[in-house]
Structure 1
């Protein structure tokens, strides 16, 4: 499992670097103006709308498929997959039509106080990008299928395809016609799933012409997924409120700034948290299905440790080197130094919440594997209320501006993680070997803090000698990586040896 996770992370890192390049090109070509705001809304709103379907599918499909495969064989499980895919095709078609009709209203939901120029551009952008809902929805079913079959690499490469075509569309939109931004986004989102077709065929999947909404497994999956969908609905309500608050504070510039800051934070989220969560969920579902609670607890703690060995240094690095990172990725062209100054503190507070997001994601996956989707839903409701309250209080009342929104998100993430962990202990009992877990994570945290201090000093020293912020940042990152590795070796962190041995074993098997 760990070797697969490492390979998945490597692929995701490269994909995220290309994604960062995409954001860098966007900021330089369009800055924080109306075009950038419209494009960001065109990327964000379809994802939010579709997340109701995707999370429900992801959460309910994997345990249902695993149970069918174990009890009735892969042919019955594959028939269920075809039926679900066909149902989702019809649902996404209706959803796409509805979204086309209400595109204008959706822009008001997500950014009420937006300049007329940005809104007028966002509406046709949305109508174009909503065309990609159907292929995206159907592909989500088959991504779950591939994950059940232990195939995680093919879904991971979709980011390359997406970012490649979006990069092309940015230049076409800037120098030929602005509508190429939306056309390229819709095309990129649709074709990124093409590699799924040969991938599912290699796994022996044969599509079946079946459409039965009354199938027992479909009903059971829907019952399991409904609390998750409700939780996602509440989460998306929070996204809408955040964007509206951002638009009230700085109009389209506020929406764009928050998006730029969030993208850099999501860089780490996507590489570490999503990668490990993707691999761990089928494993936890399988263990939970066998009712092996002792192994289940052990796997949860191991997953957290595997995340934290990368989350801790990434979080520390983002916090310490926030300014040069934002300057390197975004500043230039239409993205001015004053935009950097606003983005930096937002990223700082987003970065602080990464460990909380990692913990909560792991605990949520644990509950889903136990077929308990209600507890994470209730947790989400309280989180969102807390987030909205703190965000509004600090951004408007205390006049922190956009920083207050990021602060609210971070506080809510840690609250959600802690309360979810307490509820998980009540459900499955006390975790064994927690002392070893605490010791390992403390070593990684100390290593990260030492790394942060060394990288901060290295950056400032290099800046004085060289004078180039970008080159100084690259030097600081290299030194940070070496420092962290040395600290892990000196403190004898077992997780490091476990990861290296697992990766070596995987490579040896491939070479034979």
Structure 2
């Protein structure tokens, strides 16, 4: 993919993700208003965490499927390509149905083992079990969606996969506005299932236009399927460990105080705002490109694309982490302080958010590095690093949760994710016999300096506005808007002066478009 196409596709993908994130913010605000920081909200967050943990299999499938299908597109005819896709769809669907049935039977023991805080009350326990069983129905739609989005991305079709969040959050919003009072938490669990079905549906028209269709073909002995499964296992383990880490954090939080799981979850959602909008979009677009260069053994272009992805991640995630750290209180107030979500909940969430911020940068870089390893068929290295990360995180949790409560859990996550991301970068540098670490470090320091100056500016602006207007909805809104405008202008001016390559390219691209018009 050319540099021009990479930037344009990335921007469109980010736009769809931004719209989805706006809907997600509305959804979270409605959830906070309807359920607050209570056991009802904790039960939902705990249950959806189990679903996300199980979806790591689907993530592993999509990740390993894309390079293999890219190879089929390049080297085989349509019939062989379609046969491979149909085999994956049918085999994986049967596997998912079996897993769903097994997990439904084990749901009571899952709550007993990991949801200690819910076993103290028989009503909360029974609700947890029922909600988990309902949400597990989502897995079949997730499994189908994972293959179909993999097909689309291997053809460099990113818009429908990027729009999935927008569609699913629209389902949530409709339920929360119109049906919560009548159907409560059980209805919300069913809405979750419908939201995943909606994600599948929006990908089907593009899938059909690529002429894949569907046939009930299964061959478990197919060499390509066996190869995919062998590559999948380390990816599944790696991603499962990341989700398991989040799940363990929730288990620690469930034993701190009522609403601690929700505090942890909301602080994580705020922390990953920029990550989910930008980093995931960039990783989505760059992965097929890395896979293409890896298949063609073009190491020069591969490294060039990788460096471009890393730099773009730094340009976005470093200032975002600084800004969210400084503006955490007005951000939490504006988004969630209403209904059952009171001043206490705002303070707990914003305090936890402060220590989450460094993890945002690590998450973004980790995703790019993972894709780099996967594209060269090394799925074991990310798995080993994830395993090391979860051990570090659990050890830190044990000590920090006693000192800092939920904030200790978020600090532990930041420390562990930073350590394993640096280790991964150095390992990839060694594996590829050099990826220009000096260039990456120089770019990082330049961007960090620009973000620090921006941080000082928005800190002063925020304090002045809050001093005059108070920490209320209006004061928070005005502060955030003012800081966004002034902070962004100051930041981009500094990195332009510092001659960051990717910013210079985007500015020149905009100039060309303007001159054409």
The SS at the match of 2:259 is helix
Equivalenced residue count is 505
Tell me if structure 2 keeps the 8 A contact 1:3–1:499: no
Question: Which of 189, 208, 211 is matched with 1:204 structurally?
Answer: 211
The gaps in structure 2 that reach 5 residues or longer are: 1-5
Q: 1:387 to 1:65 in 2, by over 3 A?
A: same
1:226 paired to 2:233:
yes
How far the C-alpha of 1:402 sits from its partner, in A, is 0.9
Offset at 1:489? 2.9
What does 1:450-489 align with in structure 2 at a 5 Å threshold?
A: 450-467=453-470, 468-489=475-496
What is the root-mean-square deviation of aligned Cα atoms in Å? 2.0
Give the conservation status (yes or no) of the 8 Å contact 1:3–1:502: no
Residue pair 1:169, 1:183 contacting (<8 A) in 2 also: no
Identify the residue that residue 284 of structure 1 maps to in structure 2. 290
Q: Structure 1, residues 203-232: CA drift from partner, whole Å, max 9, x if none?
A: 222223311111110000111111112223
Distance change >3 Å, CA 22–CA 59, structure 1 → 2: same
Q: Distance in 2 between matches of 1:104 and 1:92?
A: 20
Q: For residues 506 and 120 of structure 1, what CA distance do their matches in structure 2 show?
A: 59
The Cα offsets for residues 307-346 of structure 1, whole Å up to 9 and x where unpaired, read as 1111111111111111111111111210111111111121
Kept in 1: contact 2:49–2:247 (CA 8 A) = no
Which whole-Å CA distance do the structure 2 matches of 1:416 and 1:277 have between them? 18
- 2:422 is aligned with 1:422: no
- Between the aligned partners of 1:505 and 1:186, the Cα distance in structure 2 is 45
Corresponding residue for residue 133 of structure 2: 127
1:504 to 1:128, Cα distance in 2 relative to 1, 3 A: farther
Q: Give the 5 Å matches for 1:252-267.
A: 252-267=258-273
CA shift digits 1:57-115 (9 cap, x unpaired)? 12210111112222223431222111101111111111121122222222234422225
TM-score relative to the length of structure 2: 0.93
Which residues of 2 match residues 231-246 of structure 1 at below 5 A?
Answer: 231-246=238-253
Alignment match, 2:446: 443
Matched residues in 2 for 1:497 and 1:70: separation?
34
Please say if residues 34 and 339 of structure 2, whose CA atoms lie closer than 8 Å, have aligned partners that are also in contact.
Answer: yes
Paired residues for 1:74-89 under 5 Å:
74-89=78-93
**So what's the TM-score if we normalise by structure 1?**
0.94
Distance of 2:459 and 2:442 partners within structure 1: 26
Judge conservation of contact 1:350–1:409 (CA < 8 Å) in 2. Answer: yes
CA distance in 2, matches of 1:273, 1:141: 22
C-alpha change, 1:2 and 1:74, in structure 2 (3 Å) is farther
Give the unaligned 5+ runs of structure 1.
none
Instruction: Please state whether the residue corresponding to 1:194 is helix, strand or coil.
Output: helix
Report the counterpart of residue 301 of structure 2 in structure 1. 295
Q: CA separation of 1:435/1:415 partners in 2, compared to 1, >3 Å: closer, same or farther?
A: closer
The answer to whether 1:377 aligns with 2:378 is no
- Cα distance in 1 for partners of 2:374, 2:178 equals 43
Map 1:261-410 to 2 at 5 A.
Answer: 261-396=267-402, 399-410=403-414
Partner of 1:497: 504
Deviations 1:428-461 (A, max 9, x none): 10224x5444433333222211111111111111
Residue from 13, 18, 30 that aligns with 1:13: 18
